[in-house]
Structure 1
């Protein structure tokens, strides 16, 4: 593609011509089609090029000849354009598995289970347990909402211009929109008991979700989710098995404080989120050819 100015990119004439005559490789054609969704100028040029190809010219001539030979009553009326589905319906379709199946009840079960354990079970230190689990809940949601194992129409969707990374990001955003307020509110309702603040897990949760998406471009969604979630759980639960009886929750709270509390820890998570986002942007083309299994 050629650069029109400092901010806008346009398809070059050769690219448009090769797309119109069908000689453009499939990955490049997908890339161009995604570009056309947001560039009206290139969409008009591509439309003109496609209409100008020999098969389309021949079909237009045949159509005109047939219409001229047909009696007036048999000629088709000009149909009004059929409106597409509303934006809200398209967003709901894109969210897909992120708002259905077993994942959503599982998030509610985590929140309600933490409340029941603290107030009905008399277990003190539930906030620490919730903060240890909370960052991996959106990671699990990402793994369960994108890929051939999650979506029966994955093969069809992945082949469309709206598939690939755009679809993965849409479903990740839906997962985060459900997890972040629900689990943070649950943490606010639980006694602190020496654990970090209820919102301290938000940056780690975002960073782990972005790291999962970036790693998924190499290994696939489920393997990436297992690596990031397993790494986090190993880090925060490492001191717990060696703790004397009755001190496991305290050790967990102390480890969480080291991982989550303070400007240094939160700054490190912010840097991790930014680096993961940069790697994901660099690996965007890999989402057009992720393995279908």
Structure 2
């Protein structure tokens, strides 16, 4: 850019105004065209730019733009309370392990749906007695299927953690009871009474048998304890029914369940057995740190 035959050059004030962005757009465009041919003016403008904190301002603007974009598109981090609950839930699900997955859940559903199918699909009047006979051993079997080296591929790793041992056993037992107790009790309420005890009559026996199997597992191992306790209960209630004469198997089962489950005396006995088993379990808590209890 020139005026007549004399070349035009950028003054210091013009270079400073260009550097700080206050120069009008038309004049800035003209100056930029001139800088393409004039090295001296280019150096003057470059020096003016270096004297201003323009690079810092540019970086600050870029940073603000990036942070604004992040705030708009990235979800806000969870609150400390949400992180605490998430961590608790993750630990609880990890500790529950096989108790909330695997073959046990389908087994519980099979017992419940099978009882309903017998009652309303096959018109079997003794569906509730059959359910009450099997229900107390379901949580016992659930504990056996959720604890031990044969049930959990990661058992040795889990048992070696600070939450292993008896704490891990009780966590998985609570998960088993939390599923089986309400589901099977609700199923019992939906079945015809057929002279059998109430649908909730098996709850204390189921709890007592589960605690008894855990206490015994400290001596003989989890699988053997489950076989002894669960098998013993089934023998007590099923053998008299199976040996009843005159095709009265279901009636004999209902009568046997009345003796084992119905009435304050029977329920009080099961409550006492549950307390005693819990005391034995607490006394033998260190046994769950031994390999023999993991089988």
In the superposition, the TM-score normalised over structure 2's length comes to: 0.70
> Aligned partners of 1:141 and 1:266: how far apart in 2?
23
**Structure 2 partner of 1:15:** none
The CA deviation at 1:242 is 2.1
The CA deviation at 1:245 is 3.4
**Structure 1 partner of 2:255:** 254
**Structure 1 partner of 2:62:** none
Matches within 5 A, 1:1-293: 86-291=87-292, 293=295
> Aligned partners of 2:246 and 2:99: how far apart in 1?
40
CA RMSD of aligned residues (A): 1.4
> Aligned partners of 2:91 and 2:202: how far apart in 1?
31
> Aligned partners of 1:252 and 1:210: how far apart in 2?
25
> Aligned partners of 1:94 and 1:158: how far apart in 2?
10
The CA deviation at 1:150 is 1.1
The CA deviation at 1:124 is 0.9
> More helix per residue: 1 or 2?
2
For structure 2, the 5+ residue unaligned runs are: 1-82
> Aligned partners of 2:168 and 2:100: how far apart in 1?
14
SS in structure 1 of the partner of residue 158 of structure 2: helix
For structure 1, the 5+ residue unaligned runs are: 1-82
The CA deviation at 1:212 is 0.6
Task: Write out per-residue CA displacement over residues 84-117 of structure 1, whole angstroms, 9 at most, x where no aligned residue.
Answer: 8610111001000001111101100100010011
> Aligned partners of 1:241 and 1:253: how far apart in 2?
12
Moved over 3 A (4+): none
> Aligned partners of 2:268 and 2:282: how far apart in 1?
21
Task: Write out per-residue CA displacement over residues 42-93 of structure 1, whole angstroms, 9 at most, x where no aligned residue.
Answer: xxxxxxxxxxxxxxxxxxxxxxxxxxxxxxxxxxxxxxxxx78610111001
> How many correspondences in the alignment?
212
Structure showing greater radius of gyration is 2
> Aligned partners of 2:291 and 2:220: how far apart in 1?
9
Task: Write out per-residue CA displacement over residues 166-219 of structure 1, whole angstroms, 9 at most, x where no aligned residue.
Answer: 000000000000000000000001011110000000000000000010000011
> Aligned partners of 1:170 and 1:219: how far apart in 2?
21
In the superposition, the TM-score normalised over structure 1's length comes to: 0.70
| 8 Å Cα contact 1:217/1:290 also seen in 2 | no
> Aligned partners of 1:135 and 1:93: how far apart in 2?
26
